[in-house]
Amino acid sequence: MNVSLHAIGRFTTCALTLASGVIALSQDVLAQAPAQTQTLTKDNGAPVGDNQNSQTAGPGGPTLLQDVHLVQKLQRFDRERIPERVVHATGTGAHGEFTVTDDLSDLSKAKLFAKNTKTPVFVRFSTVIPSRSGAETTRDPRGFATKFYTQEGNWDLVGNNLPIFFIRDAIKFPDMIHALKPSPISNVQEPERVFDFFSHVPEATHMLTRVYSNYGTPATYREMNGSSVHALKLVNARGDYVYAKFAWNSRQGERNLRPQEIPAIQGKNTSHATVDLYGAINAGKFPQWDLTVQVLKLEDLGKFDFDPLDATKIWPGIPERKVGTMVLNKVPENFFEATEQVAMAPGNLVPGIEASEDRMLQGRLFSYVDTQHHRLGANFQSLSINKPLVAVNNNHIDGAASTGNRKGLVNYEPSRLAPLKEDPRARSSNLPLTGTTQQARIAKTLNFRQAGEFYRSLSAQERDDLIANLSGDLKAVKNVDSLDTMLSHFWKADADYGNRLVKAVGANPGKVAALAAALKE
């Protein structure tokens, strides 16, 4: 494969060709410098006891706010860029409408799920790692975030085009993004840093396999599926809840780019997906997606040999139930006011939809709202693109850019002078808890099996492309331990997959096979 052709289509971690002496020098330093072990600390200098696992209420309970280290990492991470988004900086959006075709009242009391209900939506598609105005051909997950302006407030379904994620605990999210972002020395994405990190994160094997396949380079936003990634809870009028994963299935079909197609597209236009989306809408060819849901009962969670609330896993064999159809039919009149100022947050939920105990989701509940406050100010939800259709009545007052025109002498609750009532329908469901607070990984990790199953589901051509894409970046890794560890992860997922990568990068197959044999799922 031509080097420049391959480099243009690479994963976002290494989208630029490693051509300069500065880059080579920084990689040599990384590969050869002896490791100096120092104690990891918080910002106040106190040592960190566990940087791998968030504190949770027992083995299956939610993440605890008392985990100061987790909160500090997320707070500091959210404030690293001003005012550009730290992740999902490059994006495009469109207005539309969602129509329910199947009444979900048996599962959820949310009014938007009543049959024939039409709900205005705004969708923002994005790449994750590149800075603003990055190329839309970049090998990277694609954000697929939808804001539903419902009768009960806004619900944000904030997901990706791929149905899983790299990591399962939000405490590792800042570390992961730091590894994927450009080097602090060269300001270029470097495979050495990427795979140094992921060689310590075996659960990433599944997501890396998907991203390095052609699914990592969707052809257009219109021809791209979406996923909630996380399980949410649907709560009905009786207070019963189930766990649910949502998916967007493109009615235009799903199409991805092969490595050799990328240079021609990127050479003509780095915003080809935006041009395609806007062109279709302006021509009256409104793109559509069907929303489906997979459902598991609480008592079914323990029946799997993996944790169904692990964001690195799909739910194979669980049927999908169609909920409704979304159509995008209007281009924003002002890109900045809509696409740049839209503020999606997984914590924007309505009665009948709740967060699950998924550890990645639990961290995102805090992180997304916190970063929107930092990026757009305290009153970001009163901006027109974020403003709910229903009236907002609370005592959150003042702050920068306050335009609420609030009146009255009562800015507290309870009050007899200006009472505000609570709605019992909006009370959260009850989660049974056991055990003690803890910092430990989940019990059933199953890090490699689904990666192998995905590899074997690909066609021969798609496997060839995957090997070419992934080996191209692995060849740039100079640290032998990192390289062999990564190869053993892929070998553990599927022996043919690992062996082909070993041959492509010129590694020792016997050593890699032995490392793979020692790995546990």
**Residues labelled as active-site residues:** 88, 160
Rounded to whole angstroms, the Cα distance separating 214 from 257 reads: 6
Question: Measuring CA to CA, which residue among 342, 273, 286, 339 is closest to residue 96?
Answer: 286
Question: Measuring CA to CA, which residue among 354, 347, 367 is closest to residue 431?
Answer: 354
What per-residue string of b and e applies to 211-250 under the rule 16 or more CB within 10 Å gives b?
Answer: bbbbbbbbbbbbbbbbbbbbbbbbbbeeeebbbbbbbbbb
Strand-pairing partners, residue 99, are 118, 325
332: left (phi over 0), alpha (psi -120 to 50) or beta: beta
User: What is the enclosing helix (H) or strand (E) of 242?
Assistant: strand 241-250
Which 8-state DSSP code applies to residue 338? I
Burial bucket for residue 263 (CB in 10 Å: 0-12, 13-18, 19+): middle
To 10 degrees, the CA torsion angle through 453, 458, 460, 466?
-90
Can you give the three-state secondary structure of 20-67, one letter per residue?
CHHHHHHHHHHHHCCCCCCCCECCCCCECCCCCCCCEECCCCCECCCC
Those residues whose C-beta lies under 8 Å from the C-beta of residue 504, and which sit 6 or more positions away, are 467, 468, 471, 474, 475
Whether 455 has a binding-site annotation, put simply, is no
Question: Which amino acids are annotated as binding site for heme, given as ranges?
Answer: 368
Annotated binding site: 368
